[in-house]
Amino acid sequence: MKSPLAMLQPLGRALMLPIAVLPIAALLLRLGQNDILESSLVAPLAHALPWLGPFIGGAGAAIFSNLGLLFAIGVAVGFARDSNGAAGLAGVVCFLVATAGAKSLILAPPEALKGLASGAQDLAIAAFKDKALAKLSVPLGILSGVLAGDFYNRFGALKLPEYLAFFGGRRFVPIVSGLGGLGLGLVFGAGWGALSNGMDGLSQLIAASGPIGLFIYGVLNRVLIVTGLHHILNNVVYFLYGDYHGVTGDLNRFFAGDPKAGAFMSGYFPVMMFGLPAACLAMYHTAKPERRQAVGGMLLSMAATAFLTGVTEPIEFSFMFLAPVLFALHAVLTGLSMVLMDALRIRLGYGFSAGLLDYGLNFGRATRPLWLIPIGLAYGGIYYGLFRFFILRFDLKTPGREDNPIGMEIASEASQGGAGESFVRALGGPANLIEVSACTTRLRLVMADNARIDEPMLRRLGAKGLIRPSTGALQVVLGPTADQTSGEILAYLAAAPKAATPVASSPRGPGPKASAPAVTRDISGLLAALGGSGNLLSVASASSRLRLEVKDERAVDIPALKAWGARALGMTAPGALHVVLGPDAEAVALALARVLSTR
């Protein structure tokens, strides 16, 4: 059974897909504001085209107004085992059904209709329901996406009788998701009062916690980076906390013009734009003289990325495990920055992260933004002084000070197949990769055997850190290039042979010609666990793994497979099952192929 941490990993990853659209939404919304349009550079164009501001701003507002739908699509695709678009469609169906169902159950209070004519009452009721449901649209969208993604994984390969076969497989997923949407609609509609009061209570609790709550949030946000679950924490405050004319969430309210919004974003700017780049300078100055040139380029690149874009994970993972005391210090300083910026009533916001680009773009919407410069410079000095003191005082093994460096600098390891092939080799080969995906800064992988990865090679390829959140799971921190690298890995895997050593083929083709050691286990037990020989379509092996295609994945008995001797299992696509056995996988595959050839 999966641990709670392992079960939350897909949600943390899936949430990043819809969040990725926020930068363009923030950019369009900001460019449509009057202070931007009336600037000297674009004022003549804005005066000549008076519709330009509403046109651009409305485009950005449309994204913020439909965040629930975007989360339903993005989370569903992120949860689906192969990120198939059918899951996204199912997420839309679930969300729309749930939304319409909930609206029909929400009742407008009599005081909202008092004194209105019958026609006006209808408009008032519709407006009340829209506003009420908009408050819950993001959690409703996330739950719709989770349901749709889970239904895709469960029913994406469903076999129905021939006369209903058209509705089987992936086509069945939107159907069952619609039924799931009915359940969500019932819960959100009938329980709207309780859910709304619960959100208000959460907002009041956060607000009442004051500086202590901000400090705890800042510390937890950094600590949870280790697991990748900080996105879940962020979503609570970004999209649920507070209410401003029906708009909820610190991030949403900031872009809606709420002067009180931004408390949970402002504190990141001194840390990300000034503190961590200064930490990089301290690590450079304290590196061994013969190693400074080797790590200097890497530290400069990471510092520039943090200052410009607010992406800081590459820096944090460069010392998180080498010098944990520095990471603890960094988490405390982040919490203190949250408290300091709030005490000074500084309100800054971002659509992506707390970097120079977002700071400049949203300067006109911020409150007391110039205060960031002296505070940031002071914070940079604090980070530099503390990091330098702790590194030298306790001889911490930060980049450039390792006794046995394992390639912290980014070196060229690309083979003839490119970066994708190099990463696959470093990760133990195609047979060792069960799932490949990425979030903003890290590869998120499911491995057959974590022990087979080549960590020094991954470091040379640019990995800033490796995290093993659960058995078989691996996260490789790369920085902003993670998604591109994930695509290159998937492209290589698609073009590479499906098995390193072809052993068996479908019974529709010729049998295997290779020889292998004799099987020392009873193959009948394995066949029974796989649902019988009639459920088995094809067999192949790759290193220590069986690659099987089955008719009905529900007929596979997972506990029986593990009892037979399977070390790990993975369903890489509907009907595609990988079974990690060990050294005799090739012999077992040959034995299964002989059974198939005699059917």
Catalytic positions are 439
- The separation between the first and the last C-alpha atoms of the chain, rounded to the nearest angstrom, is 35
Among candidates 21, 333, 35, 73, which has minimal Cα distance to 177?
73
Q: H or E segment at 378?
A: helix 372-393
Report whether 350 contacts 426 (CB < 8 A).
Answer: no
Give the phi and the psi of residue 426 in degrees, each rounded to 5. Answer: -65, -25
Q: At what angle do helices 137-155 and 4-14 cross, to 10 degrees?
A: 110
- Torsion sign, CA atoms 430, 432, 437, 441: negative
| Nearest to 56, CA basis, from 70, 69, 74, 42 | 42
As a whole number of angstroms, the distance between CA 74 and CA 39 comes to 36
Cβ(518)–Cβ(587) under 8 Å?
yes
CA 32/CA 25 separation, integer angstroms: 11
Helices (H) and strands (E) in the chain, counts: 28, 10
What CA–CA distance (Å, rounded) separates 397 from 255?
A: 42
Asked if 315 and 353 touch (Cβ cutoff 8 Å), the reply is no
Q: Does residue 458 contact residue 444 with C-beta atoms inside 8 Å?
A: no
Helix (H, G, I), strand (E, B) or coil at 386: helix
SS3 of residue 469 by DSSP: coil
Please report where in the chains the tokens 């980076």 appear, as a residue.
225
Measure the CA angle with vertex 515, ends 509 and 520; round to 5°: 110
Q: For residue 452, which of 419, 483, 430, 469 has the smallest C-alpha distance?
A: 430
Q: How would DSSP label each residue in 162-228?
A: GGGGGGSGGGHHHHHHHHHHHHHHHHHHHTHHHHHHHHHHHHHHHHHHHHHHHHHHHHHHHHGGGTT
